[in-house]
Amino acid sequence: MLKFFIIIVAAVLIGVGIYYGRYFFTKRVVNEEFPGATNQTTTTPQPIKTGSFNEIDIIHKGRGQATLFTMGDKHILRFENFQVTNGPDLYVYLTKNPQPSNKASLGEFISLGQLKGTVGNQNYEITNLPTGYDTVVIWCQRFSVLFSYAVLR
């Protein structure tokens, strides 16, 4: 009976490991052009603030630049040379807290949607950006875990 129990537990752990382990070994590469880079636009994008992504711990690491641009009446948040540890259900948030650590520390936040890729250059359009939301957060919704953040200055 004990051998049967050990086999069942091992099978479940292996299955869970394979299911969630894939997030650590696969990368989603995105290389978007800057909006308007290929179009003839009358509005020139102006950088407002920039910041670098941080390492949270030995597992949750991010690097690269986040830059907030203004383009007419909208804002573009652009990640360049971006890389973050892969994980399930990653989202991009903006928050006022310059040192987020857990869900409560995010306070009020703005969700920009799911992270497009774990590697590369990507853009997020923001309409009606309130003042003070100067921290970009990569957040795992499924497990409420901070993966990385960048403070825009």
State the total domains in the chain. Answer: 1
Q: Are 147 and 90 in contact (CB under 8 A)?
A: yes
pLDDT at 147 over 80: yes
Amino acid letter, 146: L
Give per-residue pLDDT as tens, 4-46: 777 777 777 666 666 555 555 567 889 999 886 555 556 788 9
Q: What is the DSSP string of 120-148?
A: EEEEEEESS--TT--EEEEEETTTTEEEE
Domain contains 1: no
Give per-residue pLDDT as tens, 51-85: 999 999 999 999 999 999 998 888 999 999 999 99
Domain contains 8: no
For residues 53 and 104, what is the distance between their CA atoms, to the nearest angstrom? 20
- Residue 41: predicted pLDDT: 56
Domain contains 2: no
